Amino acid sequence: MGILDTVGGLIGGSPATSGLAAQVLALVNGSGHQEGLSRLVEQFRTAGLDDIISSWISTGANLPVSPDQLTNVLGRSKLAEMASGSGLPLDLVTGKLAELLPGIVDALTPDGKLPPRP
């Protein structure tokens, strides 16, 4: 299963969420799968949320993240950009991202660690 299948499967395929799927894919993929995930992990660690992101990567239970924590990690401008790109309201994007991102990162790190750099 590729990254597109993983993100799309977790977000769902409705027209309302297809734009969000593309935005989440860009977030976790960056210029390359490893780069996007590594940057996201670093952003969480810099924000003092290492325990949360580490739980998503590990093989154990995923700790939740709040919309406010996501805003702190990603920045309001990045979330507004994602909302604009998806055509969905900012509050909906932030809430859905808080709900879905733990499972997406978990699914992209099935061995409990970031994939090796190519």
Residue 87: what pLDDT? 87
Distance CA 25, CA 87 (A): 15
- In CATH terms, the fold of domain 3-108 is Arc Repressor Mutant, subunit A (1.10.10)
With bands split at pLDDT 50, 70 and 90, how would you rate the model's confidence at 1?
Answer: very low
Q: Among residues 115, 102, 38, which one has the least CA distance to residue 70?
A: 102
The span from the CA of 58 to the CA of 93, in Å, is: 25
Residue range 47-98, pLDDT digits in tens: 999 999 999 999 889 999 999 999 999 999 999 999 998 888 999 999 989 9
CA dihedral of residues 87, 92, 93, 96 (deg, nearest 10): -130
